[in-house]
């Protein structure tokens, strides 16, 4: 049967076209990694790449039987350079798939180009709500979260703790704005009030004046979104200003993920909400953590998990199209039907292509974000504005 189909295919195609069609399905797959390798999010980009590579290594250097070739671009978390960077990967390097990125502003530029060109894109971190909202497309997927998800789940947690008056503080860009919006939606629905929204431009870390404002406002609690190098500095400055002892600090879990070595005692006891924790203690997560630690001599974090799962999603899609990435509808159908066996716990992909996943409440104990419990079970992003 297989020979018959191949004979028919051979009759229909010239020898050159036939060999290139076969090569498309069986040859190397070119993966374009567009991630930050410098700046405040550099460690996040490296962890995502490590996670992605780990999945490939665990499968003999292949994804669904195809060898993988990587092309890398440092996007510097700079939205102004994003369109040029992504066009280089697509037009100069001819990548088959784009994996990127960390920063929401850069990811929105990537999503626009991916949508316009039909290039397959898997976002392994950036939470920009628009990517799986108004910009959603059959060829765009996310292995991480929407900014709304940890924000909304945090709002429910902080309300349940009995806090009534909250000040928020974050970077003024899509991720910060959307995280705070999600928080506010849930917190105010439960009767709380966000009394002040403080922000500073990304990636500034001059927090002093804002911390003075928080001390003067005397809220019941503070909610924050910071990540990477900025999160390290914020947690240290919050403690140094004497606020940690008087005003409880909450955050989406990026505040303390991949940062605990640098934050030390200043992070101890902080409670945050995220789709991963260091002590899930499941067989799947323990195996992943051991494999990651052995390979990279580092402890994994949420970013490593998201990179690993981006590779898993690509493998699932490739399997569904038998290696032929031109079959976009079939690729999407395979990913939409899958249950991804993630170290964070199994998750599915929504119609808008965002993970439907549990949100965990975690507490910093020593060098770990230990699991306190499930803050929100199977939380689905509302995908506002997605028409697909
Ligand atoms: C973002 O820009 O979407 C983002 C950056 C770092 C951590 C989480 C989200």
Residue nearest to atom 5 of ligand 1 (CA): 103
Question: From ligand 1's centre to the CA of 170, what distance in Å?
Answer: 11
Quote the CA–CA distance of 312 and 30 in Å, as a whole number.
16
Could you list the pLDDT tens digit for every one of the 388 residues in the chain?
333 333 334 444 444 444 444 445 678 999 999 999 999 999 999 999 999 999 999 999 999 999 999 999 999 999 999 999 999 999 999 999 999 999 999 999 999 999 999 999 999 999 999 999 999 999 999 999 999 999 999 999 999 999 999 999 999 999 999 999 999 999 999 999 999 999 999 999 999 999 999 999 999 999 999 999 999 999 999 999 999 999 999 999 999 999 999 999 999 999 999 999 998 999 999 999 999 999 999 999 999 999 999 999 999 999 999 999 999 999 999 999 999 999 999 999 999 999 999 999 999 999 999 999 999 999 999 999 999 8
227 CB within 6 A, ligand 1: yes
Report which ligand 1 atom has the smallest distance to the Cα of 127.
Answer: 3
Q: What is the pTM of this model?
A: 0.94
Domains of the chain and any CATH numbers: 24-145+279-353 (3.40.50.2300), 148-274 (3.40.50.2300)
| Residue 216: burial class (beta carbons within 10 Å; 0-12, 13-18, 19+) | exposed
Q: How far is the CA of 284 from the centre of ligand 1 (A)?
A: 25
Ligand 1 atom index nearest CA of 102: 5
Token pair for 249: 């600090």
Sequence-distant (6+) residues with CB within 8 A of 174 are 104, 105, 108, 128, 129, 130, 147
């Amino acid at each position: 049967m297989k020979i018959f189909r191949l004979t028919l295919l051979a009759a229909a195609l010239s020898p050159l076209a036939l060999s290139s069609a076969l090569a498309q399905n069986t040859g190397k797959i070119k993966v374009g990694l567009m991630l930050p390798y410098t700046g405040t999010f550099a460690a996040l980009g490296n962890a995502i790449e490590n996670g992605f590579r780990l999945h490939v290594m665990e499968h003999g250097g292949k994804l669904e039987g195809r060898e993988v070739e990587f092309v890398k671009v440092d996007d510097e978390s700079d939205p102004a350079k994003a369109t040029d960077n992504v066009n280089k990967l697509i037009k100069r390097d001819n990548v088959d798939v784009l994996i990127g990125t960390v920063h929401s502003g850069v990811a929105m530029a990537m999503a626009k180009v991916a949508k316009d060109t039909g290039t397959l894109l898997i976002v392994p971190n950036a939470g920009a709500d628009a990517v799986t909202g108004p910009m959603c497309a059959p060829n765009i997927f996310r292995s991480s979260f929407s900014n709304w998800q940890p924000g909304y789940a945090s709002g429910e947690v902080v309300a349940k703790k009995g806090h009534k008056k909250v000040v928020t503080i974050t970077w003024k860009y899509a991720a910060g704005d959307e995280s705070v919006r999600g928080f506010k939606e849930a917190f105010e629905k439960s009767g709380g009030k966000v009394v002040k929204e403080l922000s500073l431009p990304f990636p500034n870390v001059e927090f002093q004046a804002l911390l003075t404002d928080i001390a003067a406002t005397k809220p019941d609690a503070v909610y924050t979104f910071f990540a990477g190098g900025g999160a390290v500095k914020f947690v240290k400055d919050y403690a140094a200003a004497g606020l940690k002892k008087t005003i409880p600090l909450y955050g989406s879990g990026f505040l303390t993920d991949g940062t605990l070595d640098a934050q030390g005692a200043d992070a101890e006891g902080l409670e945050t909400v995220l789709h991963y924790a260091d002590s899930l203690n499941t067989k799947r997560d323990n195996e992943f953590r051991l494999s990651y630690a052995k390979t990279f001599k580092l402890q994994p974090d949420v970013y490593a998990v998201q990179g690993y799962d981006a590779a898993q999603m690509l493998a699932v899609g490739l399997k569904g199209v038998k290696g032929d990435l031109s079959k976009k509808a079939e690729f999407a159908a395979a990913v939409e039907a899958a249950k991804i066996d993630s170290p964070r716990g199994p998750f599915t992909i929504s119609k808008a292509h965002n993970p439907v996943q549990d949100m965990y409440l975690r507490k910093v104990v020593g060098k770990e974000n230990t699991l306190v419990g499930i803050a929100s079970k199977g939380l689905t992003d509302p995908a506002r504005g997605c028409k697909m």
